[in-house]
């Protein structure tokens, strides 16, 4: 199998972001790499949405606490 035609810097970034050994990245078939990147992006979006929901929840609690104190 022919190694991916990507720069060493890109390979290192992919290796770190996907938490996979560099050698595995370089010899991974393109469709598999694209699928793993899509999975990582979906996971990141889920985490971001969870953080946003938590921030909103905390804001609501702060507002309710403030209203109780001032009432």
Query: What's phi and psi for 51, nearest 5 deg?
Result: -65, -45
pTM of the model: 0.65
* Domain range summary for the chain, segments of one domain joined by +: 8-70
Triad 55, 49, 15: Cα angle to 5°: 120
* pLDDT (tens place) for every residue of the chain, 71 residues total: 677 788 889 989 999 989 999 999 988 898 999 999 999 999 989 999 999 999 999 888 888 888 777 66
């Amino acid at each position: 199998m022919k190694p991916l035609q990507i720069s060493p810097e890109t390979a290192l970034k992919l290796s770190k972001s996907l938490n996979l050994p560099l050698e595995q990245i370089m010899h991974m078939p393109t469709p598999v790499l694209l699928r793993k990147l899509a999975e990582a992006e979906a996971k990141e979006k889920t985490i971001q949405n969870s953080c946003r929901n938590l921030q909103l929840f905390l804001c609501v609690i702060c507002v309710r606490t403030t209203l109780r104190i001032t009432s």
